[in-house]
Amino acid sequence: MNRTNNCGELSKTNLNQNVKLSGWVNKVREKGFIIWVDLRDRYGITQLVFDKERSSEELFSAAAELGREFVIEVEGNVIERKNINEKISTGEIEILVSSMKILNKSLVPPFTLENESDGGEELRMKYRYLDIRRQPVKENLMFRHELSLEVRNFLSKNGFIDIETPCLIKSTPEGARDFIVPSRLNPEHYYALPQSPQIFKQLLMIGGIDKYYQIVKCFRDEDLRADRQPEFTQIDCEMSFVDQEDIFRQFEGLMSRLFSKFLNQENVKFERMTYNDAIENYGIDKPDLRYDLRINDITNETKGKGFQVFDNNNFSCCVKVENKSELTRKEIDNLTDWIKRPQIGASGLLWIRHNSDSTIKSSFDKFFSEEDLKVILDRASSKPGDILFIISGNKKESLMQMGSLRIELAKRFELIDYEKTCPIWVTDFPLFEWDEDEKRFFSMHHPFTSAKPEYLDLLDTEPDKVIANAYDLVLNGNEIGGGSIRIHDFDTQMKIFELLGMSKEEYTSQFGFLIDALKYGAPPHGGIAFGLDRLAAVFKGKDVIRDFIAFPKNNSGKDLMIDAPSKLTKEQLKDLSN
């Protein structure tokens, strides 16, 4: 062992002890007769001292040669420190070094390894092993570890069994694109990597496992957007003999445990909201309730005043920002530009200032009397000092644009209460989405989601009106989990496949084993899956999941450190084309 202690644990209780430490040279300060070295490891930093009086000449000059990130092993005595450093746990002591061994040298790192690094994203990804030495990155990884261990222990105590499902499975073209793995032993046959263990967990329920969980890698070969990873990790859960309420109760329990342990928040209330209400009030299916900015439908209040924008569109809505009536013209223009960007796509942004002196001013004063404007202000319960932003257009798009604006306003005007924890169960999703390009229905969740019983009759006549037994868990504006009560009935499952436009041949060849399984006593069951990467990020108030992944890929799906994907040798390519 290269050490008796780590660099984070010595204190005044260890005075006069002879200790051995190992670690990285974090910093060297030389002041003529004295050299101080900050020795760093995962656990902390301990100050080493070499001085010309008490250290041998050889040792002193060796210390003088130390470079940043050298790995050393030292022996020495724990002594009291003159200038106490209150920022670190070992700040009351230092080690008077009696001997030193250089375990490894280091080139000068290509970026600083401080909390705030000067390295750009690409450079830090290429040298990720150095980036990980930085405290914030290490802490993220350690937090993720603690989070997943807590989840495991909670679920295990609640009777869930951790069962590994296979990674080399069968490709099912329905849904996102699979990563494909050629089988050398079975020429022209291919495995696929799982997008989720969905069918396997259902088979485990059919197998009588009753409660299952797994923290599991999933794979999706998608054209990557910012902050999407081709491989990601899911906390995957399934239960038998349950309905939606049972699922909510169980996983509110899990989340409450996590809120308590990691956020120090007790008795957090779980809101519930239908998908429709979420869209109509917040313009998004994952609303952030840490701030208000609710959307108001003002279609009726704006029609018939001769203003073409309102009159020609079938929908108008507003959000109210409190105490911002004195925004400058420039700030408003800036927001207008923002919302007209192609990513948002609004055609414009209207406004009404409800001034502190109770006067009212709008961007469409020409058409609206103060009385007319007041009706709108009342609709939004506006008070003097507030400002209203208005979007007009097609309903679906306007709500989405307003939903985006809402988030942007909260950020710009710092309206988010970071002390709040706002979980919401979003429920009552439609079972299907109509795809205008392919002229067919797609499953909004996946084809194994059941419909609410009261809508079953509509399956044949108006499938687009059928509401699913599906739910998302939204936390502070992030979808952290989602699930559904599954179909456990053979006939319904086949009907759904048919509604999705699959021929009997197609669904039998892809899902025949599931259909078979449903014939052998499948219990009612349902479940949920949480994105672990996202969950960790949301708990730490971060936007970027990449920061919580030890070796993430960039937006082109590349690992810049190991340089993957890469070309193959001729022999490997030959094996592949067998």
Q: 169 to 228, contacts with a copy of itself by CB under 8 A?
A: 169-171, 173, 177-186, 188-193, 199-200, 203-204, 206-211, 217, 219, 221, 223-224
CA 471/CA 401 separation, integer angstroms:
23
Q: How far is the CB of 257 from a copy of itself (least distance, A)?
A: 16
* Residues 440-469, interacting with a copy of itself (CB under 8 A): none
Q: What is the 3-state secondary structure (H, E, C) of 49-67?
A: EEECCCCCHHHHHHHHCCC
For a copy of itself, the binding residues in 120-149 under the rule CB under 8 A are 127-133, 138, 141-142, 144-145, 148-149
Beta carbon of residue 496, minimum distance to a copy of itself (angstroms, whole number): 17
Query: Which listed residue (53, 419, 438, 563) binds a copy of itself by CB under 8 A?
Result: 563
Query: CB under 8 Å to 245, separation ≥6 — which residues?
Result: none
C-beta closer to a copy of itself: residue 298 or 536: 536
Our finding on whether 90 is near a copy of itself (CB under 8 A) is: no
Tokens of 138: 């290490």
Binding flag, residue 438, a copy of itself (CB under 8 A): no
User: For residues 183 and 369, which CB has a smaller minimum distance to a copy of itself in the complex?
Assistant: 183
Q: Which residues, 531 to 560, sit near a copy of itself by CB under 8 A?
A: 549-551, 553, 556-559
Supply the DSSP symbol for 401: H
3-class DSSP state for residue 220?
coil
Q: Which of the stretches 75-83, 163-171, 338-346, 423-431 binds a copy of itself when contact is defined by CB under 8 A?
A: 163-171
Nearer to a copy of itself, 86 or 437 (CB): 437
- Helix 395-412 to helix 329-340 angle (10° resolution) is 130
115/356 with CB nearer a copy of itself: 115
Segment 482 to 521, residues that bind a copy of itself, using CB under 8 A: 488-489, 512-513, 516-521
> Which residue in this structure is represented by tokens 């902390």?
44
Instruction: Please name the residues in contact with 57: beta carbons below 8 A apart, sequence gap of 6 or more.
Output: none
Q: Contact between 168 and a copy of itself (CB under 8 A)? A: yes
Please select the residue that binds a copy of itself; options are 106, 158, 265, 363, rule is CB under 8 A.
106
45-74 binders of a copy of itself (CB under 8 A): 69-71, 73
Stretch that binds a copy of itself, among 41-49, 307-315, 355-363, 451-459 (CB under 8 A): 41-49
Long-range CB contact pairs, 374-378, < 8 A, 24+: 375/301, 376/298, 376/301, 376/302, 376/318, 376/352, 377/352
Q: How many residues bind a copy of itself (CB under 8 A)?
A: 122
* Minimum separation from the CB atom of position 404 to a copy of itself (A): 27
Pairing state between β 271-274 and 423-427:
parallel
Widest CA span in the chain: 93
Query: In terms of Cα–Cα distance, which of 430, 465, 427 is closest to 445?
Result: 430
CA distances from 430 to 175, 297, 424, 471, 495 (A): 17, 22, 18, 10, 17
Residue 457 C-beta: closest distance to a copy of itself, Å: 21
Nearest CB to a copy of itself, comparing residues 354 and 488: 488
Closest distance between a copy of itself and the C-beta of residue 533, in Å?
9
- Of 57, 245, 414, 491, the residue at the interface with a copy of itself (CB under 8 A) is 245
Give the C-alpha separation, 368 to 345, whole Å: 26
Q: Least distance from C-beta 303 to a copy of itself, angstroms?
A: 48
- In the complex, the smallest distance separating the C-beta of residue 167 from a copy of itself, rounded to whole angstroms, is 5
Cβ atoms within 10 A of the Cβ of 478, count?
17
Contacts for 191 with CB less than 8 Å, ≥ 6 apart: 168, 169, 170, 171, 180, 181, 182, 183
